[in-house]
Structure 1
Amino acid sequence: MKKKVLLSLPLVVIALGFIAYQVVFTLPQRAQVSTLSSNVVSPKLACYNNPNPIAIDNDGRLNILVWNIYKQNRPQWQAALAALSQDKQLLLLQEASMTPQLRRWIDQGKWSGNLVDAFKAFDTSAGVLNLAHQLPKKACAYTEMEPWLMLPKSALYATYPMSNGETLAVVNIHAVNFTLGTEEYQHQLAALTRALAKHSGPLIIAGDFNSWSEERLAVMKGLLNKLNVKAAVFHPDHRKLFINGLPLDHLFYRGLVLEKAKAPISDASDHNPLEVYFRLP
């Protein structure tokens, strides 16, 4: 009898784990994006389209914050995000959890933007989030299933008009992390680079690339080199490093003039933020 009980324990644990997963997490049937704006009511769609976009830069300046905000799990996230976003026109956030507190912060700062609804945890959407003081011309959601966790990682492809008449294409990515090889990683990045290859103007590709191995770095660089982009060099450079010393967060650009880039230390997340300052050519 005891032997039967012991043999059945693993099955019970697996069943309980599956039930807990179903209770906690809800996954959409396809990639979808939510639009956050006090002036626009938009259903969740694969792509959002804006018929009347406004230029995103400020008199030829484009300042960007890139930050994995760790689902706002640390108490000082609001103060840090307020300080870091003060002089920025575009915020590219990863691991954003659309809690009432974050939504309140967005509304109070008069930000607008788009969230990829990668999944819901206890009915709260989470994914990558773009914020600006105007909505993009277009925003499309991309997701890639992470095989070990069985939760999707997300990316957002968005386009923004600029005051010089050009259109800026931006990818905000939270890359697949826990995989044995690079197949899923390559699949996720390849889908995004195919979309970017159709764009002839300026580009920004940024986020948490989870580039923790030389194999992943090779995949990332091999695909992005086809887009003729440059990597921002940070001074100071306190980007989060994997145990082997490889940075996880990056920003690549094309068709813009980089004035400065820095990655300061912050205790408001498990990643340090990237602050990047451009001007239009």
Structure 2
Amino acid sequence: MSDFKENIATFARQFVPSYRFIRTHESTLDNSHKLQTELNHHSIKVLNWNIAKNNFEKTWFKDFYRILRQYQPDLIFFQEVRMGVGVEQIIGLTNFSWAYAPNFIDAHHQTYSGILTASNVSPVSKKAIVTKHYEPLVNTPKVSLITEYSLSNHRKTLLTINSHLINFVDINKFKTQLQEIELALSTHHGAIIFAGDFNTWNRQRAILLDKAITKLGLKSVEFATQESKKIKRFLLSPPLDYIFYRGLTEKPASAKVLDEINSSDHKPLLAEFSYVDM
């Protein structure tokens, strides 16, 4: 592992200027124009997708609008989203409330990079969790974004967390990020959706994620065998992308992986839930 780290550091010094990637001071950026205030508890459609910073590309727009038309998601969890510095709106999301948690600024392109959660309702609250550790090469942290939503005809709320887990670091730093997320979710006793790119490209990482999910009482959305094979992997690794949930009922046959979408190296994941107050 030490040789690997030294090689990464050497590459960084040779090819990535130290001033290229700047850590950002903004915890969240958002656009919360007035929409309905409650999610329909009978049907909560979820889209989870690492879009690989392609949201300025025409092919990505075409794919995204097709998904919006066909599946009409209520909650959208994006990872690796680019956003122009000083820009107040993200094209394609004008009809959504969204919160954006950047983890760095690309000084060359004058863009943020980060994760984004969008919804067709306005959130009750939002909070970003930035990792204590940094990834090598770009020397920037990873970020998770918690948003909370009201549910129709219920006093309890739905808590969602959109995460991109840290990569190219030793397993203890990966574990630390999971523990930070566990702590943030542990105080919420209602329904939860936990989605993102978990970078579980080896067995050690997958085991740690499974332990965290079990501790929080979450379940993984069940994709049919043929659907599961379409989810992004690294060689023969476990899947990298997941949707976990608690306190909700997964609608039968709703879990889909959109294999025909090619504007990112990750495939969009879809699921639908309903909420019954027990």
Q: 2:45 is aligned with what amino acid?
A: N
In the other structure, the counterpart of 1:77 is 60
Q: Which residue among 143, 150, 164 is the counterpart of 2:153?
A: 164
Q: Which residue among 237, 243, 249 is the counterpart of 1:251?
A: 243
| Structure 1 segment 84-123 matched on structure 2, within 5 A | 84-86=67-69, 87-99=72-84, 103-107=90-94, 110-122=95-107, 123=110
Deviates further, 163-172 or 74-83: 74-83
Task: Please say if residues 31 and 89 of structure 2, whose CA atoms lie closer than 8 Å, have aligned partners that are also in contact.
Answer: no
| Structure 1 segment 1-281 matched on structure 2, within 5 A | 20-22=17-19, 24-29=20-25, 32-38=27-33, 54-57=37-40, 60-72=42-54, 75-86=58-69, 87-99=72-84, 103-107=90-94, 110-122=95-107, 123-144=110-131, 145-149=133-137, 150-165=139-154, 166-179=156-169, 181-235=170-224, 236-237=227-228, 238-259=230-251, 260-265=254-259, 266-281=261-276
How has the CA–CA distance of structure 1 residues 15 and 217 changed in structure 2, closer, same or farther, with 3 Å as cutoff?
A: closer
Q: Distance in 1 between matches of 2:18 and 2:89?
A: 24
Q: CA deviation at 1:210?
A: 0.3
Q: 2:263 is aligned with what amino acid?
A: A
Identity of aligned residues (%): 28
- 1:71-109 deviation line (CA, Å, top 9, x unaligned): 0165411111112233110100000111469712222xx
How has the CA–CA distance of structure 1 residues 210 and 102 changed in structure 2, closer, same or farther, with 3 Å as cutoff?
A: farther
How has the CA–CA distance of structure 1 residues 263 and 125 changed in structure 2, closer, same or farther, with 3 Å as cutoff?
A: same
Runs of at least 5 residues in structure 2 that lack an aligned partner in the other structure: 1-10
Deviates further, 197-206 or 98-107: 98-107
Q: Which has the larger radius of gyration?
A: 1
Q: 2:222 is aligned with what amino acid?
A: V
TM-score of the superposed pair, with normalisation by structure 1:
0.82
Name the SS of the counterpart of 2:205 in structure 1: helix
Name the SS of the counterpart of 2:212 in structure 1: helix
Task: Please say if residues 240 and 249 of structure 1, whose CA atoms lie closer than 8 Å, have aligned partners that are also in contact.
Answer: yes
Q: CA deviation at 1:228?
A: 0.8
Task: Please say if residues 135 and 167 of structure 2, whose CA atoms lie closer than 8 Å, have aligned partners that are also in contact.
Answer: no
Runs of at least 5 residues in structure 1 that lack an aligned partner in the other structure: 1-12, 40-51
Task: Please say if residues 159 and 188 of structure 2, whose CA atoms lie closer than 8 Å, have aligned partners that are also in contact.
Answer: yes
TM-score of the superposed pair, with normalisation by structure 2:
0.83
How has the CA–CA distance of structure 1 residues 127 and 280 changed in structure 2, closer, same or farther, with 3 Å as cutoff?
A: same
Q: 2:266 is aligned with what amino acid?
A: H
In the other structure, the counterpart of 1:47 is none
